[in-house]
Structures are given as C-alpha cells and as structure tokens.
Structure 1
Amino acid sequence: MTALSTRRRPSRGPVAAAVGVAVVCAVAAGGAYAAGLGPFKAGPEPLDPAASAQARAFLADWSHGRYDQAAARTTSPARASEVLQSFTAGLDIDKPRLTAVAAERTRDDGVRVAFTARMPVTGLGTWTYTSHLPVREEQGTWKVDWSLALVHPHLSEQAKFRLEREDTSVPKIVDRSGRSLKGDGYPSLQPLFAHFARKGGTPRRAILLVDRATGETERTETTFPKRADQGAARGLESGDRPVKTTLDATWQLAAESSLAEYALAKHASLIALRVDNGEVLAMANWPAAGFNRAVSGTYAPGSTWKIVTSSALLLKNAVTPDTVVDCPKHLIVGKEFHNVETSEFRDATFSRDFMESCNTAFISLREKLKDAELGDVARTYFGVGQEWHVGIPSCDGSVPVPGDETEKAASMIGQGRIQANPLIMASVTATAASGHFHQPTIVPGSKDTTSTTPLPAAVTGQLRTMMRATVTDGTARVLADLPGEIGAKTGTAEVAEGEENNGWLVAQRGNVAVACVVEQGITGGGSAGPILHSLLTAVPDNPS
C-alpha cells in the first residue's frame, strides 16, 4: 500500500468539500505547456517568450481542470485555486476552451496576454467572452498577476456570477431493466438528473452578474435560448419515453447502503461496472449530495496503480512473477520512500511484492521503463488519458511524463502527478481481468472515440493470478471469505502534509469490476475493504 515519506510530499489540491478532490475535472494531463503548444492559436510573438509561455501554461492548466497547477503560476496561489474551482463548478462549466490570441508589453515592463474563453455550460450552450492575463516578473520568474478580473472582466470583490435555471419537469430515469431510479433509495443519482433533461424540457437559462452583498442582479451577462435539438444532441431519449441508463437498481441500492453504513464520517465513492462492455452498474458517493467524485474526482490512485505498472513491466519482460525483487524498508531516490509501517520482505518475488504492495521494490524497477512508458501503456492498453464519452461529465485520467527521477519513482506507485478516480480504476481493473479495454458508459449508445490495444493473454493471466493471491494471502484478505474467485489490489495514497492518507481498494469478481476510495481512510483494506465486502455480499456474482 502506497505511503510516502513525509520529508517531501507530492503537491495536493486544496480541500473544498472533500480532501484530495479537484472539482469539475476535464481531461487531465500533466506538465507545463511551452509557448505555441497546447490548444492555443498562434499569436503575435511577445517581447518576452517566457512571460507568454507562463500565461499559456496557466490557460492550459485551467482549461484541463488542473486548478492547483494554474494557481501556482499566479501571484496568489491559494486565492486563485479557490476562485478557478468555484467559478467553473458554480456555473456548471464543462471542459472550458481558453485560447491565447495576443501579447503586448505594458508600461510597467509587464506583459499583457489577451485570450478568448469559450465556456460550455452543461446542457445549455457555450458562453464566449474575452479577457486578458497580466504577467509580471518576480525574482526572475514570470507570474500571472492574480486578480478576479482576469477570470472575467466583470468579476470583482463586489460582483459575482450566478447561473439561473428555470424549473422544468424531471424526466423518468430507469435502470437497464426499466426499473425507476427515483426515490430516497438512490441519493447519489439525484444531482445527475439535470443531465438527463428530455427533448422539449430543455431549460432556458441565463448567467447573471449579481451584487455579492445584496444578491441583486446588476446585469444579464448572457442567455441561452431553448433549442429543440438540445436533448437529442446529448444522446438522450425524447418525448414521453423514460431515459434509460446502464445502471442496475439492485447494485445501486447496495452501493448506496454500503457507503452509508461503512464510510461513516469520511467522504467516499465507488463504481461498479461490467467487465465485458464497460457499462456502469452502480455509481455512488458519500455524502450523496454535491460533487460527483466517483467519476469527476482526481486522486492519486496509490498502489492500485501498480496494476498498470506491473503491466508495463510484464509487457516488456522486465520481470516475471517469479523474479526476485528485494523489498527493503527504505529507498532513497532524491527523497526517502518507504513501505507502510516500514515493512520489508527480503528476497521477495515480484508476485509477493505485488500482493504485499511493496513500494520500494516497484521503485527499484523504475529504470526498466522509459520516462514516458508508463503513460504510454496506460493510454494504449487501458485507455487512460484518452477522451471518454461516459454520458455524463467525467475526468478521464492523467499520467504525465515525470519531470525527474524522484517523480518517476513516485509514479511507479501511483503517486506524483498521476490522477484517477473510481471510474478510472474500476475500468483499469476490468481491463486487467479481461485483457480488453471497454469505454465505461452510463448512457447506452454513448459514442466511443477511444482506440486501444488488447493486453497479451499471458500478461492478463499473470495479473489475474497476482490479484487473486492479493486476496488469499496479501493485503486484500478482507475479501477472502467471500464466494467467487475474487482478485483485488489495495492502495494507500498520500495527499498532503498533516492529512491522513486516502484508502483504495479495487476488485474483480466474475463479470464485474469495482473500485472504492475513502478520503482520509488511512489504508485501503481498513477503510474501503468493509465497503466493498458489504457490496459484494449483497449482490449476485454476475449481473443480468
């Protein structure tokens, strides 16, 4: 289980409603953007390319939901992170497109970079406006000079934006068998109903500029006209017919109940999906209201990511399950890495390193992989980092190329800048079990633009064997008393200095893969284990 030394911990986003969750995530990708790269049009060359590069990198991070990284490029990181998240989430903006168009020198030797913002408001349309980024030099480093006005010219300490939505009838939402999903038994699904507006019930909405103190409207910033084709454009059924999902009412009820009973005061979420086609059977969050962290959260996946790391190593025959890979208590790669409770397993095989979740053993194998290889394997075989069309907004993962050896060491154990969530890790588990990636979906008929390569049968067999051993003899023994040939992997992921670790557990039984994260859960087996044990006890071995 992943636990890093406290001597230097990976960066972490601020705590909004929950520890370690980045709010409203688009397709995540790491690393700074150089001038002229990323989703930006070429503009006039600024007087100082470094200033323009910093501005463009800020826009790239913002557009991809990397609020902490964007904020770190400003003169006020804490305030910038808070505002960028609340602005994007509060206005229900999905995957903003920010394009730098020009740069000019200012009188105070700074640089001013103009940009166009195209903000898709979920279910309504795109809000387009222009603004600019002031950039100034601080101690030899260019920084975006933070102010509310750079987010939007009318945003200020006195005025903010509010999205107004007219009341419309909520369509009937049903599961894969036609059973209704409305009611108190499905609290995690309530926030999603706005995404299932039927044709003819599409709302007419506006973004208003309001006084922060009084709440009075100062002006209407933009309106979104009703369009007859909006419901159909979102791939949903129209007329009086109910909206059908891939969810299974039995699994959803069990997921909600398991979280309510065992998450206790922690924030937690889980996903269950079919291995053979990626259809989501259950999607639950605790607390149920608010941000859908199960599909849109961004977490370090911790040692559950060793499924991907193992795949990369096995694919190139860098190791076999029987290869001896020593597991010492500590290993220094620019900083000290250690195992949970500083455990060690001398002369351990790679299979035992996997089932005991040995960090130092995996880190010692980092030179077996090229810097970009882990990300390439994640994208090519597991679809992580490609754009997924789940049917609702989702974060589809990020595996940046490490910037140095320390970051590469961290990435081997699912830390550093790797980002995932239960949807991604349930899919990774399903792919490892079957050898084939299937884009997860919650709305039947969602388009699929992914392109992946099947894992070799030999690699799949090795992964399944090691995951099974993790249940029978390793860190996932909490599931050992359940029927069926369950395979699993635990994870413990550090988040920030002074905060408890997040606990992870992924598992596969029959045709279902599940993933659960418990924020500040300390260990995966101890926190996520009881939740998944309860879920798998309450449901059949395989869904219909």
Structure 2
Amino acid sequence: MGKRRRVAERRKTGPVVVGGMIAVVAVGAGLGVYALYGGGAAADEGTATTAGHRAVKTGPLSAAEVRTASTRFLTAWQQGHVPEAAAATDDPSAATALLAGYTKDARLKNVTLTAGRTTGAKVAFSVKATVSYKNLTEPLAYDSSLTVVRRKSDGSPLVGWHAQVVHPDLRDGDTLVTGASGTPPIKALDRDGGELTAARYPSLGTVLDGLRDKFGKEAGGKAGVELRVVRGKASKAAKLSDKTLVALSQGTPGTVKTTLSPSLQTAAEQQVGKQKQASVVVLRPSTGEILAVANTGHGFNTAFQGSLAPGSTMKIVTSTMLFEKNLITPDAQHPCPKTYKLAGWTFHNDADSEIKKGTFKQSFGASCNNAFIDFAPKLSDSDLTKEAQQVYGLGLNNWSIGVPTFDGSVPVQSGAQMGASLIGQGGVRMNPLNMASVAATVQTGVFHQPYLVSPSVDGRTTAKASRTMSSKTQSELKDVMRYTAAYGTAAKAMAGLGGDSGAKTGSAEVDGQKKPNGWFTAYRGDLAAAGVVQAGGHGGDTAGPIVATLLKMGG
C-alpha cells in the first residue's frame, strides 16, 4: 500500500489567503486585523523524508521562510496565544515570560501588529495597543523588528528571541509593568532655573531617567501611574535606568537642579546632530560641573556610559606617566620610527609616517604612535593603570555624578597589549565624559570628579584622586597640548581659539569597521570638552569641530 502524505488541517484562526495578501481573522474582542505581506501564500514548513526523519535545512533563509516564521509569531502574539507565539521563537521559555507579562503586568490590550519592510531575515513591524489600569487608559504606539533564524537542530525558521522584539527599549531580563510607580517623577532644571525636557533636549532622555532613579524619592514628589520598563539584573549591572513609556496619571514631580548650561546644551545638541554617531561632554575644570552632554543617538548615553577605545587621546595619560618618571621631556630629541616590534607584534604609525629627527613634543603633536610604544620596555605592566587611577581618577568605578556612568578602564596588561594601551588601544576603554575630565585635570593640575547634580543636594561623596601631578608635569603637559592645538593634528579645529588652550586628537581602530572612531579632547580657559564620532575617521576632522565650537562659547 502506498504511503500517504499527511496534510495538516488548517486552523480556522490561522492565516488565510485573501486577494494575494496573507491575513489573519481577528478572534475575540479587541483584536485588530493584521495584514502582513503582499504576495503569494507562505511556503510549506518542510516535508518528512521516507525514513521518517526531517532533513536539516541549511543556507540562507528564503523569503517564504521569513514570511512563514514571522507571520506565525506575530499572529499568535496579536491574538494573545502566548504558548503558540513562544513556540515560534528559538527561546520559548524567555518568550513565554515576557509575552505573558505583556498582558498581565503591562496591562496592554487591543494589540494590533502591522508588518513593514523586510530586509533579508529582518522584519520591521509597528505596534498599536491600549494601556489600561483601573479607570485609566492611554494609547501606545511604537515600532519594532524581529529577525528570523534557523533552529540548530533541524534548520526550521524561527524568530530569534530577544526582549527588544517586544519593545525596542527592553533588554533581555527587563520587564514591562503598568501601575503606581515606585519612584516619583522629577522636574529637572538647568543651572539658570529653566526646565530640562527630552522634547527640548533629545539627548537628555536617558539623563532624565537616571536623575529620576537617583533623586525621585528625595526630591519630594508623588508617584503617578505609568507603563515603565523595569530593568533586570543585566541592565542594572550595565547601569541602565528604568524608563517611562506612557504616563496614565502624572503624579507630582519633585525638583532637581543640575549644572547644565542651557546655551551650551543647545549648542551641543546642534553639533552632534551634524554627525551620524557623535557624542560630546563639556565640563568646567575648576569645579567638575558638567555643562553639556549630547549624543546623536538618544537610546544610549554613549557620552557618559560608552566603553570605547580612546585612541591617541590616551597619550595625555601616557605622557603624564613618562614625564613623572623623567623618561622624557617635551623638547628632548626622540625619533618616531615607522614601525616598532614588541612581543611579536609590529606597530605602525598612521599612514606609515615617521619622524626621524624630532622632539617628543613633535611626535605628540603629530600623534606618532611608535614614539610612545618604544617606552614599553622601560615600564612595568601596571604603570599606566596606576597613573590613570591615581592622578586622573579613572578605572575605579566610584564616580558619583548624579546619574549612571562608566568611569573608564585601564587594565593591567603585558607585552604587546601593554604597548597598545599606551596609545589608547588594547584593553583601554573610555567615553567623552572620561576624556573631558582628563583635559580638565591637565588644565587645573588637579582631578575634580565631574558632577551633574551638586553633591550638597544629597550629601554624597565624590571620588578623589590619591595624588596630584607636580607643577612641572602639568607645565610639560600643557606645553605639548598647546603645541598640538597650534601646530599639530588639532590645529585646524582649534584655529582662532587662542588664549590658554590645548588639545589632543585620536583615531581608534575597531575590528570590522572601515573607518576608525574619531576622538578629540581639549581645554580653553575654564572649559574642557571631549567628543567622539564613531566610524568617523580622524578625530581632528570629525570630533574636533564639535569640541572647538563649544569651547569658543566661553570659559
């Protein structure tokens, strides 16, 4: 008797083909109609072999497989069929928990999902829903996306599960919750008493979230009812703050005054908006007050929490160490060879340049790498780490500025990695806040921990450096930074600033990235600033104009 191919019975609530469109018949009150794709019907999910084994599919996903997997997931999610939606992902357990909470904890109903553009295996979609809590309701609308992947065991197409599929502000381990917020809202003010809002200053969204987390209960406000992203363990470890998505009742905000300058903040927002991935911080060296912070992208505060190799801007810290150890002086003859071999690595200068007969100051100004790396044999593995920690307050994870920060990292390394650290590569990681503080410390000779809210507001203790550079070392640092601003790689950006100013450029290579991250840090009078443009190229050309424009505003 011949074998028969079984045909699965079509579910009455499943996808049906109507006029060339895959659609879903809405079931139950509050479910919208979901029109997913134009084109033909979805392809079969796979056929069993005669031996009773399913073949393992490999290779790129077809358009039909992407349609089938995404349709199955989005349809089940919209209809509230959590087990079916979770089973359409590659992590059913995590998907079940978050999707069940979407209704139970986030109190979302009337969910309507509409697919948008498909790019390869990535499917964009929009979400409309209603947040309902007791007698309060508010609409919710946002865009998200999913990516279809192959299951390792059999190659079946499934939705690759991450919490961001449910909402782009979620990270794995986070949840959505609607209810009376445990943290009252705040009204944040600039240094002149004006209100700071994300609508006026888009870069401040994450900063305002952080201020609320830190000062909401202390500022005397009363909590309202909100739909919020509540951070899980991993997000808290990454210092991400809870985030309000929808306010059903506003509550009564408490007031928190910051150190931000409205004019500098406005200018900083405008400057980073000229680049695709730019971040900048402006400080007052004499006090540590943060006057401006801005990022092109508003979902993550790279300026405060980024962890990026700082490239040659790190040569400021390296030079501090070399000057303190009396290994070099600015005007001492010190060639910069085209290549330098260290522990099996061959280091090159940018564009394979070299300085055969020149001073250390000229190598600093030209940002010539090997003039720094060739000091490695004279240094211990921990020298740079100690310098960063003891003089610049970096890498101790103890800054308390009023919102979450990453405080830099200069790990103890050996061999070629230690050599790479001297030029801001290897394991060294910084952000614009850290590098603005480095420039500010050079300007004053003393580390003042940056802060956004005065420590007097809550009595918190700010970080202190364990020692101060000598006046001789400070003078030497300002000498090489002034030279760089006047004649070196920073000269074009710093042209016309004059006065007591100095600068350092940087370019940090990133694996898999065509152009390096461009860095620039500088001081002028009582202002210091640092910026980075990711994948922007040379810092003098990209981050330099951003920083210089802000320094021109006063100080």
User: Which residue is equivalent to 2:373?
Assistant: 363
Report percent identity of matched pairs: 41
Question: Alpha-carbon deviations, 1:144-176, whole Å to 9, x = none?
Answer: xxxx99xxxxxxxxx975232547674321111
Alignment check: 8 A CA contact 2:522 2:528 kept: yes
- Say if 1:160 and 1:173 are closer, same or farther in 2 by CA, change over 3 A: closer
- Residues in 1 aligned to 2:465 and 2:550: alpha-carbon distance in whole angstroms: 32
What is the 5 A alignment of 1:26-65?
none
Question: What's the CA shift for 1:521?
Answer: 1.1
Q: CA separation of 1:239/1:438 partners in 2, compared to 1, >3 Å: closer, same or farther?
A: farther
- Give the match's secondary structure for 1:525: coil
Separation in 2 of the partners of 1:165 and 1:315? 56
**Structure 1 CA distance for aligned equivalents of residues 387 and 203 of structure 2:** 33
SS at match of 1:318: coil
Aligned to 1:503: 518
1:330 corresponds to: 339
Contact 1:363 1:409 in 2 (8 A): yes
Q: Give me the whole-angstrom Cα distance separating, in 1, the residues matched to 2:423 and 2:334.
A: 15
**Residue from 464, 469, 476 that aligns with 1:462:** 476
- Which whole-Å CA distance do the structure 2 matches of 1:423 and 1:184 have between them? 23
In the TM superposition, what whole-angstrom CA distance separates every residue of 1:340-360 from its partner, at most 9, and x where no partner exists? 111111122111111111101
**TM-score, normalisation: structure 2:** 0.60
The yes-or-no answer on 1:253 pairing with 2:266 is: yes
Q: CA deviation at 1:323?
A: 1.9
Alignment of 1:477-492 (within 5 A): 477-478=491-492, 479-492=494-507
SS in 1 for 2:269: helix
Deviation of 1:529 after TM superposition, in Å, equals 1.5
Partners of 2:385 and 2:410 within 8 A in 1? yes
Amino acid in structure 2 at the alignment position of 1:466: V
Q: Residue 160 and residue 256 in structure 1: after superposition, are their counterparts in 2 closer, same or farther (change >3 A)?
A: closer
Could you say if the C-alpha distance between residues 282 and 165 of structure 1 is closer, same or farther in structure 2, counting changes exceeding 3 Å?
farther
Distance 1:421 1:525 in 2: 17
User: In the alignment, is residue 292 of structure 1 matched against residue 301 of structure 2?
Assistant: yes
Matches within 5 A, 1:300-315: 300-315=309-324
Q: Which has the higher contact order (CA 8 A, sep 6+)?
A: 1
Structure 2 letter corresponding to 1:300: A
* Paired letter, 2:466: T
Contact 1:437 1:452 in 2 (8 A): no
Query: For residues 342 and 164 of structure 1, what CA distance do their matches in structure 2 show?
Result: 55
Aligned pair in 2 of structure 1 residues 208, 481: CA closer, same or farther (>3 Å)? closer
- Distance in 1 (alpha carbons) for counterparts of 2:379 and 2:302: 31
The equivalent of 1:182 in structure 2 is 197
Higher CA-based Rg: 2
Secondary structure at the aligned position of 2:300 is classed as: coil
Q: Which runs of 5+ in 2 are unaligned?
A: 1-89, 99-160, 163-171, 234-250
Q: What residue in structure 2 maps to residue 318 of structure 1?
A: 327
Residue 398 of structure 1 contacts residue 419 of structure 1 at CA under 8 Å; is this kept in 2?
yes
The C-alpha deviation readout for 1:265-291, integer Å capped at 9, x for no partner, is x2110000010111100010002x200
Please give the alpha-carbon distance, in whole angstroms, between the structure 1 residues aligned to 2:296 and 2:417. 31
> Aligned equivalents of 1:522 and 1:440: distance in 2?
28
User: What are the within-5 Å matches in structure 2 for residues 124-523 of structure 1?
Assistant: 161-164=174-177, 166=179, 170-182=185-197, 184-197=199-212, 198-199=216-217, 200-202=221-223, 242-261=255-274, 263=275, 266-287=276-297, 289-333=298-342, 334-386=344-396, 387-402=398-413, 404-445=414-455, 446-478=460-492, 479-523=494-538
Q: Are the structure 2 counterparts of residues 314 and 202 from structure 1 closer, same or farther at C-alpha, using a change threshold of 3 Å?
A: farther
Letter in 2 for 1:448: T
Partner SS, residue 294 of structure 2: strand
Q: Secondary structure in 1 aligned to 2:447?
A: coil
Return the offset for 1:330. 1.4
C-alpha distance in structure 1 between counterparts of 2:390 and 2:408, whole Å: 13
**Secondary structure, counterpart of 1:354 in structure 2:** helix
Aligned partner of residue 384 in structure 1, secondary structure: coil
Paired residue secondary structure (1:242): strand
Kindly indicate whether the alpha-carbon contact (under 8 Å) linking 1:433 and 1:463 is maintained by their aligned counterparts in 2: no
Give 5+ residue unaligned stretches, structure 1. Answer: 1-78, 88-147, 150-158, 210-219, 222-237
**Aligned-residue offset at 1:452:** 2.4
Query: Do 2:222 and 2:253's aligned partners in 1 also have CA atoms closer than 8 Å?
Result: no
What is the root-mean-square deviation of aligned Cα atoms in Å? 3.1
SS in 2 for 1:515: strand
CA contact 1:439–1:450 (8 Å) conserved in 2: yes
Provide closer, same or farther for how the CA distance between residues 257 and 485 of structure 1 changes in structure 2, counting only shifts above 3 A. same
3-state SS in 2 of match to 1:524? coil
How far apart, CA to CA, are the structure 2 residues paired with 1:242 and 1:360?
52
Secondary structure of the 2:523 match is: strand
Provide the secondary structure at the position in 2 that maps to 1:271. strand
Are 1:170 and 1:193, in contact at CA under 8 Å, matched by a contact in 2?
Answer: no
Number of residue pairs aligned between Structure 1 and Structure 2: 359
TM-score (norm. length: structure 1): 0.61
